[in-house]
Amino acid sequence: MKFAPLYLPLQRRIQTLAVLLMVFIAFLAHATGLILWIVLFLSRLWPIAILYATFIIVKDIDVSSKGGRRIEFIRRLSIWRYFCNYFPITLIKTGHLDKKKNYIFGFHPHGIMTAGAFGNFATEGSGFSRLFPGIKPHLLTLKILFKFPFFRDLFLSFGTCDVSKQSIQHLCENKEGGNAAIIIVGGAAESLDAHPGSCTLTLKDRKGFIRMALLTGAQLVPVYSFGENELYNQASNPRGSFLRRTQERIRRWLTFAPVLFYGRGIFQYNFGFLPFRRKITTVVGTPINVMKRRYISRSDVEKLHAVYINKLKDLFDKYKAEHSSYPNATLEIL
């Protein structure tokens, strides 16, 4: 067992605390919010629980599909800079984004924790607004997560929205422009391939985001986050194995993947739920011009999907030697 040194710079301890907070938000905060609401409901403070639930049902139920409720103060808290510096997370701009246009970012890969997506697009920890002035990033996630009390309000404050058709249209048909909808295309299915060294994406049959780009006229932007799959070790689950088949069945039933993973602990480096300190470099590609179409054929979707995959492969091949631990890796599209 390798333990952390007793004396560490305060900065590193704050970085670890920031990541611990993110792990809590990612894996436990939704359940904690639900438990807190139940405790309030069963206590003398039950009127607060009832008022809160009534407000959500009557006034706020669809806010995640209508642009969300971002709070810049929350996004710009200094704790998120410590979070990004823990790995560290670096955001790279390769092309200009016109603030008068709207965009759909395809983020790859999902990884276990999607640390790069959170740090770069749900916070200002890596300086998104400095690199892309006039663009508002909206990280999109499952609609069900916005049903959990209190957790939903925290998540909304990061500028996140749900990944429904209504939500994407609301963001990408904004006449003033300046919105970027960030979609983690591979989703839960891709997390089952999140092994160190893996460059496997679940993308071949993921075409909904392509159709939404054609429907809204939003420009498509491929994004690859090098190092995302290196943050945790995952139990061996090759395709066709008993474990993988079981995980796939549970994923189809519950919509999330039961990934068996481990990282490091708070005070030791061998086992735990914190990610390893491994560099993440998120490269934002150049926009693919998309013309809005009233009628969308299957051929339109297939052609744009092929263009997107080629642009993503080009992005991966151009930057893998500099920012990947596996410079000879090949991007595999499944």
Q: Among the residues of the chain, which ranges form H helices?
A: 10-27, 29-41, 46-55, 72-75, 79-86, 115-117, 128-131, 151-157, 165-172, 187-191, 208-216, 242-254, 298-323
Residue 4 lies in a domain: no
Q: In which band, very low, low, confident or very high, does the pLDDT at 269 lie, cut at 50, 70 and 90?
A: confident
**86: helix, coil or strand?**
helix
- What's the rounded Cα separation, in Å, for the pair 20 and 268? 14
* pLDDT higher than threshold 80 for residue 23: yes
Residue 323 lies in a domain: yes
Instruction: Note down the domain range covering 316.
Output: 10-333
Average pLDDT over residues 59-70: 96
Residue 259 lies in a domain: yes
Note the pLDDT of residue 294: 86
Greatest alpha-carbon span in the chain: 64
| Structural tokens at position 28 | 């436990």
> The domain spanning residue 192 has which CATH number?
3.40.1130
Q: In which band, very low, low, confident or very high, does the pLDDT at 213 lie, cut at 50, 70 and 90?
A: very high
Note the pLDDT of residue 103: 98
| Structural tokens at position 325 | 């631990």
| Structural tokens at position 240 | 């066709």
| Structural tokens at position 2 | 């390798």
| Structural tokens at position 202 | 């679940």
Contacts of 294 (CB under 8 A, 6+ apart): none
Contacts of 35 (CB under 8 A, 6+ apart): none
Note the pLDDT of residue 44: 96
Average pLDDT over residues 180-189: 95
Note the pLDDT of residue 307: 98
Note the pLDDT of residue 6: 76
Residue 3 lies in a domain: no
Residue 251 lies in a domain: yes
Residue 2 lies in a domain: no
Q: Which helix (H) or strand (E) holds 49?
A: helix 46-55
Q: Percent of the chain, pLDDT > 90?
A: 90
Summarize pLDDT for 77-94 with one digit per residue, the tens.
999 999 999 999 999 999
Q: Nearest 5°: CA angle at 111, between 108 and 115? A: 90
Residue 1 lies in a domain: no
Q: Nearest 5°: CA angle at 113, between 108 and 118? A: 70
Q: Compute the mean pLDDT over every residue in the chain, rounded to the nearest whole number.
A: 95
| Structural tokens at position 58 | 């009557």
Q: In which band, very low, low, confident or very high, does the pLDDT at 253 lie, cut at 50, 70 and 90?
A: confident
Note the pLDDT of residue 101: 97
> What is the number of domains present in the chain?
1
- What's the rounded Cα separation, in Å, for the pair 136 and 183? 14
Residue 194 lies in a domain: yes
Note the pLDDT of residue 325: 85
